[in-house]
Structure 1
Amino acid sequence: MEEDAMVGDAVEEVVVRWSQQLRHGLLVYSYWFYCLLSAAACAAVALYLRPARVGAGGPTATTPELPPGPSALASTGLLFFLGRGNFSTIMRLVRASYGPVFTLRLKPSQPTIFVSDRAAAHRALVQGGALLADRPPAAFSNRYLFSDQHSIASCGYGPLWSAFRRNLTGRILHPASLQRYAGARRRAAGVLVAGVKRQMNGVVVIEGLLHRALYHVLVSMCFGDGLGEDDGVVAAVEAVQREFTTSVIGFQAVSGGDGAGVREEDLHKMPYLKAVVLEALCRHPPAQLVMPHTATDDATLIDGFRVPKHALVNFTTADMALDDRVWGADARWFRPDGFLPGGEGADVQLTGAKEIKMSPFGAGRRACPGIELSLLHLEFMVGILVGEFEWQAAEKTVDLAEKLELSIVMCTPLRALVAEPTPIIL
């Protein structure tokens, strides 16, 4: 029995040693294998994406060239870093090297052009009319997400888009129709205030409460006032449309009022409230880029550069809103006074009709048709929150770092300590 045990131990030791050697050998082999595989893959990508040589039919003195940009291989390398919260930094580096209009060769057959200058964007989107009003075909994976491009935002420029926009702006988004939904906004404000009061004994996370209040308005606008009062319906719509939720606009709260609330008809008497909302949209827009555009004509030019008919054209609207030539050296500071009379943004037009100073809703023919409705909801909700409560950050500092989901949101949701407003004794 002892000899059998000794033999068993010896065999087990040999097996363990052999396994360790085999594992070490496999690791070494795997390391070199993956090194060789990576080198081969890089070489293949470089050869596959290498720009074609310009021949007799290429750009000439009379045929404009594409905007300049890094090589195909360098563009592919940048692709790995664009979605990691450093989009603006990378775009600024490329702009510093190649100018405000540049090309990233992210696909071999479809160049991607970026416009980061607000004057060039105005010439292309506003002065150019319909030349860049088209949308690129949706990838197969996005067809269901964007209703196979049968929506006003994603469909191509043409009769279908015109019908969508005409129906939307002539009815639900017509300025005369905004008052029709005043009752829904008041009920949503009540839902918002009640939600904040339920959390007042602890830390209030306002993001979810704002989402629910806005859903009340949207449900009422789409299905009528009765459904807007049903929490079950609102919850169902939230579950279905959660990924389409608009970003929560950060704001710098000020001391509360007397608790009487804010009336919608008094918003036009509150210029500083509107200035705060505009400053938030300017410094923290819903997206770094507007939805991609494509040219409707193969002869389209942007600042003298050629734009092929099916090329993707992106406008870095978030960076355009931080132009020191418009806002001064403190362009990145939260300074609502700039939107008051006499300020740099006092005459700002969100449609960009005369000049693009900021463009959170896009510009030109494909600009968002719901600008007035969005501003009304933002001013009303922020006014209610500031008028009904006193706000204080739960931590010493508020983390304004951003991350990209379907829109830009705060990496760390706003956490606040909330109290009833202090009575004002006259």
Structure 2
Amino acid sequence: MGSRTMIIVSDAKLCHEALIEKGALFATRPRENPTRTIFSCNKFTVNAALYGPVWRSLRRNMVQNMLSSSRIREFRDVRNRAMDKLIHRLKSDAKSDDGVVLVLKNARFAVFCILLAMCFGIEMDEDTIEKMDQVMKSVLIVLDPRIDDYLPILRPFFSKQRKKALEVRKAQLEFIVTYIEKRREMLKNPGSDTTAISFSYLDTLFDLKIEGRKSAPSDEELVTLCSEFLNGGTDTTATAIEWGIAQLITNPEIQEKLYDEIKWTVGDRKVEEKDVEKMGYLQAVVKELLRKHPPTYFSLTHAVTEPTTLGGFDIPTDVNVELYLPGIGDDPKIWSKPEKFDPDRFVSGREDADITGVKAVKMMPFGIGRRICPGLGMATLHVHLMLARMVQEFEWSAYPQNSKVDFTGKLEFTVVMKNSLKATVKSRV
């Protein structure tokens, strides 16, 4: 690819060899393009950091202090309020548009509400949430790869785009630093803000000790780490919900079976997090959803720490090792009828897969090995809970009536539906 060498791996056994058997060798990241370096504060994020002390410090902090199962449980009330907001917004949209709702937009809003509260320790009003969302979207747009990332000789022709990236970064810093300062004040004066939540991701970052560094993260680095937390969990989860609802509309018998399980498990009360563990069919639906529709075509790019081999081929340093996820999830050598959306494959025990890929790789929606997504547990909890609440409240069908859902995808930050899903909902109550 221009001046970069790209190696694309789409075989499950080779993925296992690279990321599990030779995990430490394949655990670093390649050179970033100049725009990404600006937004990652020179690779100061969990996802972008080179394999080494900075990465270990940042990841350990995120996993132990924010994404452990006990910490995630502490935000249960935040999630419940976001789920109620989601249902309220869907009912309101349906009422004003003859039963028709936009799935991605509403799902995205609900997840973003949760992550904002977890990140900054403040529950924000809708206007602020929309503004923050716009800031995040503008960042993702300027991060789209450009041809000069691969052919540096063309950089002089892209000065306008570089200028735009710097403007977006400045706006991002100005907007988010305000909320970082607010949180600092709250911690100095407990009880001064009634909307404050007792704990947040930001709290873990203020005095974070980084191996090999004397100072705590700067405000600019705090903005970068908060943005990573928000971007990493919002679009991936919302996209999964959109594909999931599309599959339930296309397969009404699966939707009905899922609704029956919800009804049988919880009766007339609202689905809660503790119920999800008892719903085997819901778990099978989500697993099949992640197999058929991983959040993106490629996992985050890997690179090797020293020259090595993979499947007998030489892998030099400073090359992009790309892992093609649909090549694994749709592989007929691994799955029977891979083109079919069939949660029963997991219920019957006919087929199964560990999504962490430790024993064998059959699907890897969150990556695998040392650089596996640290938010895996939180993301799957959100998808299970949202799908369960949405199916409990509404019967979902196609819009326009009797039309076929178009499953064509397009790559944005994640793989979204080319035509954003509009659906007709009918309240079950």
TM norm structure 2: 0.70
Q: 2:102 aligns with which of 155, 180, 205?
A: 205
Structure 1 counterpart of 2:354, from 340, 344, 349: 349
Of residues 166, 178, 182 in structure 1, which corresponds to 2:60? Answer: 166
Letter in 2 for 1:190: D
The aligned residue for residue 16 of structure 1 is none
Q: Which residue of 2 aligns with 1:277?
A: 286
Give distance in 2, aligned partners of 1:304 and 1:388. Answer: 53
The corresponding residue for 1:139 is 33
Q: Structure 1 residue 125 and structure 2 residue 19: aligned?
A: yes
Aligned pair partner of 2:8 in 95, 109, 114: 114
Cα distance in 1 for residues equivalent to 2:35 and 2:111: 29
Q: Report the counterpart of residue 98 of structure 1 in structure 2.
A: none
Compute the RMSD of aligned alpha carbons: 1.5
Q: Does 1:363 align with 2:368?
A: yes
Residue of 400, 404, 408 corresponding to 2:411: 404
Taking the aligned partners of 1:164 and 1:207, their CA distance within structure 2 comes to 30
Which residue in the other structure is 2:116 paired with?
Answer: 219
Structure 2 stretches lacking a partner, 5+ long: 141-230, 249-254
Q: Does 1:236 align with 2:236?
A: no
Asked whether the equivalents of residues 259 and 387 of structure 1 are also in contact (C-alpha less than 8 Å), the reply is no
Query: How far apart, in 1, do the equivalents of 2:328 and 2:380 lie?
Result: 20
Alpha-carbon shift at residue 149 of structure 1 (Å): 1.2
Match for 2:235 among 233, 236, 246?
A: 246
1:31-50 equivalent positions in 2, closer than 5 A: none
Q: 3-state SS of the aligned residue for 1:204? A: strand
Question: Offset at 1:341?
Answer: 4.2
Q: Deviations over 1:75-125 (max 9, x none)?
A: xxxxxxxxxxxxxxxxxxxxxxxxxxxxxxx234x4211111100110111
CA distance in 2, matches of 1:151, 1:277: 28
Residue 320 (1) aligns with residue 214 (2): no
Q: Do the aligned partners of 1:352 and 1:359 also contact (CA within 8 Å) in 2?
A: yes
In 2, Cα distance between the equivalents of 1:296 and 1:398? 44
Secondary structure in 2 matching 1:342: coil
What is the rounded CA distance, in whole Å, between the counterparts of 1:259 and 1:239 in structure 2? 38
Corresponding position of 2:301: 292
Name which one, 1 or 2, has greater alpha-carbon Rg: 1
- 365-374 or 200-209: which moved more? 200-209
Q: How does 1:138-157 map to 2 (within 5 A)?
A: 138-157=32-51
The answer as to whether partners of 1:324 and 1:331 remain within 8 angstroms in 2 is yes
Q: Is the 8 A contact 1:220 1:228 kept in 2?
A: yes
State the alpha-carbon separation in 2 of the partners of residues 183 and 189 from structure 1. Answer: 10
Task: Specify the alignment match of 1:184 in structure 2.
Answer: 78
Q: Deviations over 1:184-209 (max 9, x none)?
A: 11000011000010022321111111
Give secondary structure in 1 for the equivalent of 2:334: helix
Match of 1:417?
A: 424
Q: What CA deviation, in whole Å up to 9, does each residue of 1:207-252 have, x standing for no partner?
A: 111111001100111122xx22522332232122133441411113
Q: Which amino acid aligns with 1:325?
A: K
Amino acid at match of 1:284: H
Residue 145 of structure 1: how far off its partner (Å):
3.2
Q: Would the alpha carbon gap of residues 338 and 147 (structure 1) be closer, same or farther in structure 2, given more than 3 Å must change?
A: farther
User: Residue 379 of structure 1 corresponds to which residue in structure 2?
Assistant: 384
Match of 2:319 in 1: 311
Residues 167 and 322 (structure 1 numbering): CA distance in 2 closer, same or farther, change over 3 Å?
same
Confirm or deny: 8 A CA contact 1:204 1:417 kept in the other structure.
yes
Return the structure number with greater relative CO, CA threshold 8 A, min gap 6: 2
Alpha-carbon offset, residue 179 of structure 1: 0.7
Gaps of 5+ in 1: 1-105
- 2-side partners of 1:149 and 1:259: how far apart? 49
Note if contact 1:326-1:344 (Cα within 8 Å) is conserved in structure 2: no
Task: Indicate the residue corresponding to 1:331 in structure 2.
Answer: 338
1:259·1:388 contact (CA, 8 Å) conserved in 2?
A: no
Contact 1:321 1:357 (8 Å CA) reproduced: yes
One-letter amino acid of the structure 2 residue matched with residue 390 of structure 1:
E
Match of 1:324, SS?
Answer: coil
- Give secondary structure in 2 for the equivalent of 1:195: helix
Q: Residue 192 of structure 2 aligns with which residue?
A: none
Is the 1:260–1:388 Cα contact (8 Å) retained in structure 2? no
Normalised by the length of structure 1, the TM-score is: 0.70
Name the CA shift for 1:166/1:410 in 2 (closer, same or farther; >3 Å).
same
- Residue 278 of structure 1 and its aligned partner are, at CA, apart by 1.2
How far apart, CA to CA, are the structure 1 residues paired with 2:89 and 2:119?
A: 23
Sequence identity (%) = 33
Question: In 2, distance between residues paired with 1:220 and 1:340?
Answer: 35
Kindly state the Cα deviation for residue 340 of structure 1 after the two structures are TM-superposed.
1.6
The match for 2:87 is: 193
* Partner Cα distance (2:103, 2:23) in 1: 40
Q: CA deviation at 1:393?
A: 1.0
SS of 2:127's equivalent? Answer: helix
